[in-house]
Amino acid sequence: MSEIARALNLKQKLVDFVYDSEGDIAVALETYAVAKGKKNSYGIKQQNLTVDLFITEGKVKDRTPLAIFLEQSELSPADRKLIELWQRNFIGLFEIESIEDGYYRLMNWLTAKTYKVYGHSGMTDKETSRWQPGEIILSIIAPIDDREWFFFSDRIIKGRLSQPKLAVAIGEFRDNYPEFLYADAPELLEQAWESVAVYHQEFVEHLGSDRLTLPGYQLNQKIGELQQIMSRKKLAEAGIDDSKSLSQMLQESGKTEAEFTEAATDLGADAEAVTKIIQNKDRSMVTPKVDLPPEIKQAESVTVFSHPRWGQMFLPNYEKFTDLLSKESIEDPETSQLSIRKYLEQPQANYYVWQQLKQQYPQALEKLLSSYLKQDSFNLDNLDKLLLEYDKPPTPQLPSTASVPIHLNNLFEAAVAQVQKTKSKAKKKKKKGFLKG
């Protein structure tokens, strides 16, 4: 039996073990599937993907199904060693770089890391014969050894994607699988979290508080100023002229990268910093530009919270909601119901925001929630459970201000530029048509 066939056979035993289990494992699988089902479609491939994720990511009293399988199964040392490797499994958004004899060269778009991934007998010719280099695949891959991998799950084919559509697909992946954002590059994840804390510190220093309320247009100006200050600081730390981009200076110099680095150090720049910025394009992290949405920019009043882990939360007309909570009695039940529903459903009003409300207005919040839920017995001890039902977990997800690998930042900027160009062309055509009429 080949290594791939052995891996496939063991994987099937794992899946059968999960499906045949009763009690705690069955309950944990159902809970996990419901949680994932809120964000994903219910197609058969997606269902299979969820089960395969559960094997290594699900929790049954703080243990994974894979760990329980290893404890309860009689396995040869070789089989046990192979299954233990699957603790490194991860789901990714992969681009097919090349199709070789028996395997595929894939790049994980989230980290730009490449993998040699083997197909297997569970994949039909009907499926794989249509695959082409450049196509995007959502799938889980698992290691066979230190260098080679195989498809651990069904493959959801996204096809060839334009830059805007690829950016959207990456955004969806971030929303649906936040725990796998940089699963194969923990150093990138660590840098991203560090950048959130730095952004928070800079935010507080520039705006004077970790919570403030301003008109939307003014807040937008302040955020723009903050980003400029942070950009200048980073360039200054690297000893780089902030009036030009590094690539622009390199291009204008007419020098090779080595010559440019030498020239930059002669002028006082740090050679290691310059070399790192130039050479490590695909692994360097940059802070993405934050563009506030129109509803924030145009809002009469916006309250922003800042936190070193939760990032920044922008809430239009937050004061109207707190005014409602400040009143001794509910004067307008309909308005109260709408406000509570809005704050339960909108993502910006996350777990952290609700904890602030709970601390400041405990009695009023409990009363409003009891009325909204039509549960006289509701109390704030049940708030965390309620927030989970509305997809507001107590652990923060990486916020949008976190630094991203430069290859992703370049993609997002190119996608935005392409969309704006398309909109501009559409407007011109529309205008010409109107003038003709």
Domain stop point among 86, 109, 142: 86
Helical (H) or strand (E) element with 151: strand 148-151
Q: What is the CATH number of the domain that holds 122?
A: 2.40.50.140
Same domain, 95 and 82: no
Same domain, 194 and 305: yes
148-151 and 113-118 beta bridge pairing: parallel
Same domain, 330 and 205: yes
The pLDDT value recorded for residue 159 is: 94
No. of helices (H) and no. of strands (E), the chain = 19, 11
Domain stop point among 86, 112, 128: 86
Same domain, 208 and 355: yes
Same domain, 73 and 102: no
Domain count, the chain: 5
The pLDDT value recorded for residue 1 is: 55
Q: Is 178 left (phi over 0), alpha (psi -120 to 50) or beta?
A: alpha
The two three-digit tokens of residue 273, written as one number? 């910093």
Same domain, 113 and 260: no
Same domain, 42 and 102: no
Domain stop point among 282, 298, 314: 298
Same domain, 203 and 306: yes
Q: How confident is the model at residue 283 (pLDDT cuts 50, 70, 90)?
A: very low
The pLDDT value recorded for residue 131 is: 95
- pTM beyond 0.85: no
User: If you search the block for the tokens 């409300």, which residue do you land on?
Assistant: 357
Q: Which domain holds residue 329?
A: 188-212+301-402
Q: Would you say residue 272 has pLDDT above 60?
A: no
Same domain, 192 and 175: no
Mean pLDDT value across residues 417-435: 68
- Percentage above 90 pLDDT, the chain: 64
19 vs 11: CA distance, rounded Å: 13
Q: How confident is the model at residue 317 (pLDDT cuts 50, 70, 90)?
A: confident
The pLDDT value recorded for residue 435 is: 41
Range in 142-146, 218-222, 423-427 the model is least confident about? 423-427
Same domain, 35 and 149: no
Same domain, 205 and 80: no
193 vs 186: CA distance, rounded Å: 11
Same domain, 385 and 279: no
